[in-house]
Amino acid sequence: MRKLAWVIAVLVLAGCGEGRDVEAPKPKPVTTSAPAVAAAPQWAVEVRGQTPQAVSDLTGWLIEHSFMSTVVRENGKERVLVGPLNSEAEAKAKQEQVTAALVRAKKRNIEASVVDYPPAQ
């Protein structure tokens, strides 16, 4: 039994040095390309209330109804936008979806309108 343990130990230790000359694959450096310039202007659906409403309430409601929104600050005012969308037709279709969800939820003081998506700042 003792000899068997020695044989196993020798084989294990002999195998420890194997493969030292093989190099591990090096990770490729991450390259970032310039953002693609959109050929057509981008569109969005702006959702705003006629009465002052917290932006977090409005964005929370949109998320609950499967609309991903972004908050854009322009001239000190916050705008809630659903988008960017690639075409005006797509934006109008999304506007109809948002409006239908607003009607189902009986939210009468909130409107949705199609606007140009503001450029990145």
Report yes or no on whether pTM surpasses 0.75: no
**What structural domains and CATH numbers belong to the chain?**
43-116 (3.30.70)
Q: How many residues belong to the chain?
A: 121
Q: pLDDT (tens digit, 0 to 9) for every residue of the chain, 121 residues total?
A: 777 777 777 777 766 665 556 666 677 666 665 555 545 568 888 888 766 667 777 888 888 888 888 888 888 788 888 878 888 888 888 888 888 888 888 777 778 888 887 766 5
Report yes or no: 47 and 69 within 8 Å, Cβ to Cβ: yes
- Radius of gyration in angstroms for the set of CA atoms belonging to the chain, rounded to a whole number: 29
Report helix, strand or coil for 62.
Answer: helix
